[in-house]
Structure 1
């Protein structure tokens, strides 16, 4: 009923699972991941016990293939299960029980494993594999979703579409320094993979960390424009505390993760411009090499 990919980033700092299915809220059941430990997906006839048991084995340094072997060996219903696992190093591993509904199967390689059942055919897994391997230039969460898109375009679940989910972990990489970098679900939607991609874009806007190379000094023309924009939105700037209005507005917009004292993220500035587009006058470039700093 499901196709999924479990993977590790090239630097080993991130682990993630992406999944889609013609099944309600697959993202609530399939994925499990722990920062600096590994990730796994349990599907077909889901065994929720695989999640804590698998992470416990990974935490003790057991290789992905041995985690799969140990979990299915102890499971009397293993013939109906499907499982994918990645550890902190080495190849991923996948299992497809012989009683899973066709088409069912999986593939694995260094730091990844893709699997699916009730699929349109083996081309779904091939497409996910190729997209994953070819997506090295993408940010890790986007790379996972791109692989899921490829599987969906190749036919995905042969019964249709309903849900999708994405879970990515990194030590201290998430909101308020949590280990959950991304945790998004589309539980019931006619095009869940596309909707998951939209949610990831919103997540990146709100919770992405600013790129130090692109930050603009909050002085000169940049400061003047920011002050004018904030004033039109009901946040006049106090010259004695010039950042207070910006931080107040950004907090209401859920952009606090992108705030840097004395500087402004061009993404925050663009969002501010869209919120108050009627402010007249020239606007400084948001290219840090050409901005009036």
Structure 2
């Protein structure tokens, strides 16, 4: 099955993160395209996708092969390589991309420092816009990957339209509770504007699982206390004769905001802003 898709694989050498972001006119692209292993690398396989490129690519890169060497090895033994498209980044951040000569136009890829962008059946200029945006965007690897994906869509993206998108970022012990390397794993399987929806979900994910910023932690006093009391009442948490701080603690635990809980008498303003938007 043809996968009309564009993707980017990237690496953050400071945080030691590897990731993939992808969008496609295809149901649940996140179930097919992205693969990543912390310390080893990341793979995006698409266009009549050969999903064995993911685990086999990881095996080659974990044994010391570079991204380019790994692509060369995998495509050399693939009889349908002319139909394949793949991007890889290895454990050292070296990037490589491959587009078979029978991939449908427009098809191609670009590599730069710590990233590879590729796509097929695209509006011309899409991968160039993605590469430029990744290079120029500041922030986390996830921020840069998502900005690149959005720039690709704005530049034209998939010539057949949109349907699904995904973001996968791995980091040693970066998963929930530090028990896995799956730092961020988000998917939009079927949506009219999947990239926008993916960005929205990522923003919520960061609110739930990222640590509070020191400059956003303030005492619950006067106006903030009034606002908090109003929001807890509006959201149905306020109970008669229950202290404000006790009610707020109930809210934090019910809504899975344990990572944003502060010592008694303080609040993360990002939580309060989320309450006002809910």
Query: What is the TM-score when the length of structure 2 is the normalising length?
Result: 0.87
Q: 1:250 to 1:147 in 2, by over 3 A?
A: same
Shift of 1:228: 4.0
Q: Secondary structure at the match of 1:194?
A: helix
What aligned pairs does 1:135-146 form with structure 2 within 5 A after superposition? 135=137, 137-146=138-147
Range that drifts further, 173-182 or 40-49? 173-182
Q: Secondary structure at the match of 1:56?
A: helix
Distance 1:174 1:222 in 2: 36
What aligned pairs does 1:20-99 form with structure 2 within 5 A after superposition? 20-99=23-102
1:234 corresponds to which of 226, 235, 238: 238
Distance 2:241 2:94 in 1: 55
Distance 1:237 1:60 in 2: 63
Distance 1:85 1:71 in 2: 12
Structure ID, larger Rg: 1
Shift of 1:273: 5.3
Alignment match, 2:163: 162
Q: Which consecutive unaligned segments of at least 5 residues does structure 1 have?
A: 276-293
Shift of 1:77: 1.4
Alignment match, 1:283: none
The C-alpha deviation readout for 1:153-186, integer Å capped at 9, x for no partner, is: 1111111111111111122223222322221111
What is the aligned-residue RMSD (CA, Å)? 2.4
The C-alpha deviation readout for 1:234-282, integer Å capped at 9, x for no partner, is: 367977xx9654332112112122223344322123334566xxxxxxx
Q: 1:16 to 1:90 in 2, by over 3 A?
A: closer
The C-alpha deviation readout for 1:132-155, integer Å capped at 9, x for no partner, is: 1011x2332121111011111111
Q: Secondary structure at the match of 1:148?
A: helix
Q: Secondary structure at the match of 1:118?
A: coil
Q: Secondary structure at the match of 1:181?
A: strand
1:107 corresponds to which of 107, 110, 119: 110
**Does residue 14 of structure 2 align to residue 15 of structure 1?**
no
Q: 1:112 to 1:12 in 2, by over 3 A?
A: farther
Shift of 1:81: 0.7
Aligned residues: 270
Q: Secondary structure at the match of 1:36?
A: coil
Query: What is the TM-score when the length of structure 1 is the normalising length?
Result: 0.83
Q: 1:272 to 1:197 in 2, by over 3 A?
A: closer
What aligned pairs does 1:125-140 form with structure 2 within 5 A after superposition? 125-135=127-137, 137-140=138-141
Q: 1:162 to 1:274 in 2, by over 3 A?
A: closer
What aligned pairs does 1:197-216 form with structure 2 within 5 A after superposition? 197-216=199-218
Q: Secondary structure at the match of 1:40?
A: strand
